[in-house]
């Protein structure tokens, strides 16, 4: 813990990233209680109202909906999908990567070919195609599809770190003791590979934010009435000359969250690599 705070002093930019990330988490948890409007409320008398200290702090869109309320409520959905995507893709990626790397041979060869095929398809394209076929963009469906799209990269990283540990003496000792393969993989090896895996998971968190926002911008992400930052940008693109705030503020929300998580991921990488 002392080293963690020492690194924070050494990399002051990390303090900014962590602060912004924590701010968005607080907004997602408690923001809806603090805003005066809901994300679905429409005010026909205040369409495209400019930001002001009284009334609509960040202005309204072409339907008279409060921009601040929609950003606040949207933070819940985008953080939920991104966090669950990061967790699911990491768990499944570690499981596949560890099994392939541990058993090697035909299992590993089949794994590598399958991952090569999946990685040849950009995650955004894969997600768009599957979501288009299913016709369902609920939070659960979106989380599962984006998780599957990210599994190949996470699995390859997991396989790589397992291969570096596979021939260590403590693994050989576990084999001599007669420990099971599952025990060796997930009790002996996994604790010694958490650093790179955590770094990969935090990176996937940032990628998930961009993926969800991109899918929303392309019209296949979270659908109304669920607020989506990417959808907010595309919905108000036609009025950008009359109400630029309707596009600017959701875009800034996406950028600030992605940059904050990227800074945090970079900081975690520095800390864990040093400790290892």
Total structural domains in the chain? Answer: 1
For 60, phi then psi, to 5°, come to -125, 165
Residue 52 covered by a domain: no
Give the angle 186-192-194 at the CA atoms, nearest 5°: 85
CB atoms within 10 A of CB 260: 21
49 lies in some domain = no
Q: Other CB atoms closer than 10 Å to residue 53's CB: what's the count?
A: 6
Mean pLDDT of the chain: 87
Question: Domain with 257 in it: what CATH number?
Answer: 1.10.3720.10
In a domain, 124, yes or no: yes
- Judged against a pLDDT cut of 70, whether residue 2 lies above it is answered with no
Question: Does residue 220 or residue 211 have the better pLDDT?
Answer: 211
Contact 141, 88 (CB under 8 A): no
Asked, for residue 234, whether it belongs to a domain, the answer is yes
Biggest CA pair distance of the chain: 77
Tell me the mean pLDDT in the region 225-247. 88
Distance CA 74, CA 58 (A): 15
Residue 51 located in a structural domain: no
Expressed as residue numbers, the domain containing 186 is 2-41+57-275
Residues 145-202: pLDDT tens digits? 999 889 998 999 999 999 988 888 999 899 998 889 899 999 999 988 888 898 889 9
Q: How far apart are CA 231 and CA 216, in angstroms?
A: 5
Task: Give the list of residues 6+ apart from residue 230 with CB closer than 8 angstroms, or none.
Answer: 212, 213, 214, 215, 216, 217, 218, 221, 250, 254
Exposure of 81 by Cβ count < 10 A (0-12 exposed, 13-18 middle, 19+ buried)? buried
Check: CB of residue 96 under 8 Å from CB of residue 155.
yes
Strand partners, 66: 60
Residue 74 maps to a domain: yes
- Provide the whole-model pTM: 0.85
Per-residue pLDDT tens over the stretch 75-112: 998 999 999 999 999 999 999 999 998 888 888 899 88
Residue whose C-alpha is closest to residue 205's, from 63, 17, 79: 79
Neighbours of 110 (CB within 10 A): 11
User: Nearest Cα to 217, choosing from 206, 238, 233?
Assistant: 233
To which residue do tokens 């959905």 refer? Answer: 77
Per-residue pLDDT, 273: 62
Whether 168 maps to a domain, the answer reads yes
Rg (Cα) of the chain, in Å, rounded?
22
Instruction: Confirm whether 131 is domain-assigned.
Output: yes
Using alpha carbons, select from 250, 243, 212 the residue that is nearest to residue 229: 250
Contact 240, 247 (CB under 8 A): yes
Whether 61 contacts 112, CB under 8 Å = no
Residue 152 token pair = 């190949």
Q: At what angle do helices 12-34 and 2-10 cross, to 10 degrees?
A: 100
């Amino acid at each position: 813990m002392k080293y963690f705070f020492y690194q924070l002093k050494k990399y002051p930019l990390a303090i900014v990233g962590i602060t912004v990330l924590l701010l968005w988490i607080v907004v997602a948890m408690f923001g809806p209680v603090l805003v005066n409007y809901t994300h679905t409320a429409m005010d026909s008398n205040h369409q495209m109202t400019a930001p002001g200290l009284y009334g609509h702090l960040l202005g309204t869109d072409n339907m008279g909906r409060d921009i601040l309320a929609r950003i606040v409520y949207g933070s819940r959905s985008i953080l939920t999908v991104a966090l669950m995507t990061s967790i699911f893709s990491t768990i499944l990626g570690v499981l596949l990567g560890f099994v392939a790397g541990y058993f090697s041979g035909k299992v590993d060869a089949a794994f590598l070919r399958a991952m090569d095929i999946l990685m040849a398809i950009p995650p955004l394209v894969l997600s768009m195609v599957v979501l288009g076929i299913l016709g369902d963009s609920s939070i659960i469906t979106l989380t599962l599809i984006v998780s599957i799209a990210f599994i190949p990269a996470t699995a390859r990283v997991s396989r790589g770190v397992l291969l570096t540990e596979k021939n260590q003496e403590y693994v050989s000792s576990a084999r001599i003791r007669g420990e099971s393969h599952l025990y060796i993989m997930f009790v002996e090896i996994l604790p010694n590979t958490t650093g790179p895996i955590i770094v990969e998971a935090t990176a996937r968190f940032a990628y998930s934010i961009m993926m969800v926002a991109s899918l929303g911008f392309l019209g296949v992400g979270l659908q109304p009435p669920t607020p989506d930052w990417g959808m907010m940008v595309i919905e108000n693109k036609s009025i950008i000359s009359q109400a630029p705030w309707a596009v600017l503020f959701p875009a800034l929300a996406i950028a600030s969250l992605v940059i904050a998580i990227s800074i945090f991921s970079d900081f975690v990488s520095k800390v864990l690599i040093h400790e290892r």
